[in-house]
Structure 1
Amino acid sequence: MKKTTQAIHLPYKRRDAYDALSMPVYHAVAFEFDNAQLMADAFCGRIDAPDYSRVENPTVTNFEERVKAITGAQDVVAFNSGMAAISNVLLALAAKDKYILTSRHLFGNTYSLITSTLKRFGVGARLCDLTNLKAVEEAIDTECCCLYLEIMTNPQLEVTDIPAVAAVAHRKGVPVIADTTLIPFTEFSARDLGIDAEVVSSTKYISGGATSLGGLVIDYSTCDRLHHPLRHEMLFNLGAYMTPQAAYQQTVGLEVLDARYKVQAANALCLAKRLQQLPSIRRVNYVGLPDNPYHELSKRQFGPTAGAMLTIDLDSQEACFRFIDRLKLIHRATNLFDNRTLAIHPASTIFGLFSAEERSQMDILDTTIRLSVGLEDVDDLFNDIQQALL
């Protein structure tokens, strides 16, 4: 079956008692067993059966199985947020006196996790330009526990040559972990690009209009050091498993992901082209534009669409604030890939607690506004932007 069909028609692991077409929300905390041996086998992982909803739940498992079928992954673990997915996969690989190789071009909380939180536990961070293969080669030594990247950075919209970087990392025995949130996994094969595990904020495209928080680790079982600690240590010991209600909402969102994404990506491209014609906008940054420096690389790696996030630059932070305050249709809010279009000033919000020097090193500009493009009519979005620029 094609990916869009798999998202809808994957059979349940066990037949539902009432033959419900949509997987019910199993709010049960614990599950009964016929005998002590079956209980022991379930708790020790010798049989596949839910025992306690902190580590396995039928509704969440159904969601994981659908993602697994679409991606061809060996295992998928659903967490209660994208940051939980990131922290769990990094903790599964990291250790005292090891370091994570990554870029300064990271989402703010991911950057803080790697450079600050994990540092307190003896895990180092080595930052380099991941678009420079020589720099990557020189940065990796025997103490590197993983290479972590975003396939399209937020909000800089930088794209790395992933197969080339992965080849360098794998030659040195280092797994590649990639945040693939900005392009849905229905659009490309992460495994074919050399990615060992994906992390995804399923809050974004998958949830279906910001219905729920969630995160996924999609494990392709190409890194021997990852699977066991992720599923049997991190999941059990840290307690960040997705809730059944969120899994239900995100399963419904997954069923219509392809249809929603195609509209949002088309809207983003159309809007970006039209915004380039407005003289008061200093720069429009969208990878889908033919003159974008990452356009061809993105097409080669992720296919013809370039996501539903773009940025615009105005003359100053004050101009950005005036613009945001004047918006009438577009919402002043964080998050990405809601059904509604959202606008935010990253430097003063997501990166607001970083120093000016740190923001400069991360290429976070005071003049940038991030737009997450929704499902509205493009004419209405363009008109709202036009009037807000006056």
Structure 2
Amino acid sequence: MKKQTQAIHSRFQTKDAYGSLAMPVYHTAAYEFDNATEMADAFCGKTDAPDYSRVTNPTVTYFENKVKAMCNAHGVIAVSSGMAAISNTLICLTAAGKNIVTSRHLFGNTYSLIAGTMMRFGVKPHLTDLTNLKEVENAIDNDTACIFMEIITNPQMEVADIAALAEIAHKKGIPLVADTTMIPFTQFDAHSLGVDIEVVSSTKYLSGGATSIGGLVIDYGTTPNFTDRMRKELLMNLGAYMTPHVAYMQNLGLETLDARYRVQADNALRVAQALKDVEQIKRVNYIGLEDNPFYELSRRQFGKTSGAMLTIDLDSQEACFDFINRLQVVRRATNLFDNKTLAIHPASTIFGNFTPRQRQKMDVLDTTIRLSIGLEDAEDIIEDIVRSVEG
């Protein structure tokens, strides 16, 4: 079956007692066994029977299995947030004395995790320009645990060559870990470009209009023992497993993901094209525009769609605040890929606790506004943005 059909028609692990078409929500902590042997086998991973909902739950397992089939993956683990997906993955791959080769252009909390929290446990960041392959290769040493990348950086909108980075990683014997949140896996085949482990904030496109917080770790089976360690150690000891109600909500979102994404991506392109002609907007940054420096690479990697996030630059932070305050259709909120179009000033919010010097190094500008384009009529989005820019 094609991915969209799998999203709707994946079979349950066991037949439902009442023939339900929707996977039931198993709101339970524990499960009863017929005998002690069955209980022991479940707890030791010898069977697929759920034992405790901190590590296995039928509703969550169904969601995981559906994503696994759609991605043709070795294993999928659903967790409590996108940051949980990143942190659990990196903890699984690293140890004290190891380092992570990554970009200076990371999302705020991801940067704080890698260049802050993990340093307290002896894991160092090697911050590089991932678009400079020679620099990346030179940054890798015998203690490098992985290369970590975002396929489209947020909010810089930088795109690195995934296949080239994978080739470097594999030559050095380390995995390439990619945060692929910006382009859904219904459109983009990360493994075909050499990604070993994919992390996704399922809060975004998958959840179906920002209904819930969740994350996915998608393992393509090229990193020895990764999924086993994640399930037998990380889920057990860190407790970041997705809840059954979130899995239910995100499974429903997954069924409509492809249809919603295609509308949002089309809207984003139309908005970006329209805003290029607005005098007060100094720059429109969207990888789907033909004059964008990453346009050709993005087409090769992601196909004909370019995601639903873009940024615009105005004259100053004051102009950005005035613009945001005048918006009427576009909502003033964080998050990405809600059904509603959202606007935020990253420098004063997501990166607000970084110093000006740190923001400068990360190329987070005071003049930038991030727009997540929703499902409204594109003309209404454009009209609201233009009116708010022009004052």
TM-score by length of 2: 0.99
What's the offset of the Cα at 1:190?
0.9
Give matches, 1:193-204, under 5 Å.
193-204=193-204
Query: Structure 2 CA distance, aligned partners of 1:24 and 1:356?
Result: 49
1:46-102 Cα offsets, whole Å, 9 max, x none, are 111111000000000000011001000110000010001100000000100000110
Query: Structure 2 CA distance, aligned partners of 1:349 and 1:225?
Result: 38
The DSSP-based 3-state class of the residue aligned with 1:217 is strand
Query: Structure 2 CA distance, aligned partners of 1:256 and 1:225?
Result: 33
The amino acid across from 2:53 in the alignment is: S
The DSSP-based 3-state class of the residue aligned with 2:199 is strand
Are the aligned partners of 1:93 and 1:225 in contact in 2 as well (CA < 8 Å)?
Answer: no
- 2:149 — aligned with what? 149
The DSSP-based 3-state class of the residue aligned with 1:231 is helix
- 1:70 — aligned with what? 70
Query: Structure 1 CA distance, aligned partners of 2:356 and 2:174?
Result: 33
Query: Structure 2 CA distance, aligned partners of 1:86 and 1:61?
Result: 20
Cα RMSD for the two superposed structures: 0.6
Give matches, 1:293-372, under 5 Å.
293-372=293-372
Are the aligned partners of 1:100 and 1:125 in contact in 2 as well (CA < 8 Å)?
Answer: yes
Query: Structure 2 CA distance, aligned partners of 1:258 and 1:350?
Result: 28
What's the offset of the Cα at 1:228?
2.1
- 2:139 — aligned with what? 139
- 1:381 — aligned with what? 381
Give matches, 1:151-166, under 5 Å.
151-166=151-166
Percent identical among aligned pairs is: 65
Are the aligned partners of 1:264 and 1:375 in contact in 2 as well (CA < 8 Å)?
Answer: yes
Are the aligned partners of 1:359 and 1:365 in contact in 2 as well (CA < 8 Å)?
Answer: yes
Unaligned regions of 5+ residues in structure 1, if any? none
The DSSP-based 3-state class of the residue aligned with 1:256 is helix
- 1:239 — aligned with what? 239
- 2:190 — aligned with what? 190
- 2:5 — aligned with what? 5
1:222 aligns with 2:208: no
Query: Structure 1 CA distance, aligned partners of 2:345 and 2:386?
Result: 18
Are the aligned partners of 1:199 and 1:216 in contact in 2 as well (CA < 8 Å)?
Answer: yes
The amino acid across from 1:297 in the alignment is: L
Query: Structure 1 CA distance, aligned partners of 2:299 and 2:83?
Result: 27
Q: Deviation above 6 Å: which 4+ runs of structure 1?
A: none
Are the aligned partners of 1:187 and 1:303 in contact in 2 as well (CA < 8 Å)?
Answer: yes
Give matches, 1:26-45, under 5 Å.
26-45=26-45
What's the offset of the Cα at 1:230?
1.1
Query: Structure 2 CA distance, aligned partners of 1:150 and 1:13?
Result: 33
The DSSP-based 3-state class of the residue aligned with 2:274 is helix
What's the offset of the Cα at 1:227?
2.1
Query: Structure 2 CA distance, aligned partners of 1:376 and 1:159?
Result: 27
Query: Structure 1 CA distance, aligned partners of 2:132 and 2:116?
Result: 24
1:169-226 Cα offsets, whole Å, 9 max, x none, are 1101111100000000111211111100100000000000000000000000101152
The amino acid across from 1:105 in the alignment is: H
Query: Structure 2 CA distance, aligned partners of 1:121 and 1:385?
Result: 45
1:21-45 Cα offsets, whole Å, 9 max, x none, are 0001000111111111111111000
What's the offset of the Cα at 1:387?
1.4
Query: Structure 1 CA distance, aligned partners of 2:146 and 2:17?
Result: 44
The amino acid across from 2:346 in the alignment is: P
Query: Structure 1 CA distance, aligned partners of 2:383 and 2:151?
Result: 31
Query: Structure 2 CA distance, aligned partners of 1:228 and 1:57?
Result: 17
Unaligned regions of 5+ residues in structure 2, if any? none
Query: Structure 1 CA distance, aligned partners of 2:347 and 2:5?
Result: 40
- 2:278 — aligned with what? 278
Query: Structure 2 CA distance, aligned partners of 1:75 and 1:290?
Result: 37
TM-score by length of 1: 0.99
Give matches, 1:74-85, under 5 Å.
74-85=74-85
What's the offset of the Cα at 1:229?
1.6
1:303-362 Cα offsets, whole Å, 9 max, x none, are 110000000000000000000000011000000000000000000000000000000000
Are the aligned partners of 1:42 and 1:49 in contact in 2 as well (CA < 8 Å)?
Answer: yes
Query: Structure 2 CA distance, aligned partners of 1:8 and 1:299?
Result: 28
What's the offset of the Cα at 1:17?
1.0
The DSSP-based 3-state class of the residue aligned with 1:138 is helix
The DSSP-based 3-state class of the residue aligned with 1:186 is coil
Query: Structure 1 CA distance, aligned partners of 2:19 and 2:236?
Result: 31
Are the aligned partners of 1:99 and 1:123 in contact in 2 as well (CA < 8 Å)?
Answer: yes
Are the aligned partners of 1:265 and 1:308 in contact in 2 as well (CA < 8 Å)?
Answer: yes
Query: Structure 2 CA distance, aligned partners of 1:242 and 1:47?
Result: 20
- 2:51 — aligned with what? 51
Query: Structure 1 CA distance, aligned partners of 2:225 and 2:362?
Result: 30
The DSSP-based 3-state class of the residue aligned with 2:30 is coil
Query: Structure 2 CA distance, aligned partners of 1:168 and 1:381?
Result: 42
Question: For this pair of structures, how many residues does the alignment match?
Answer: 390
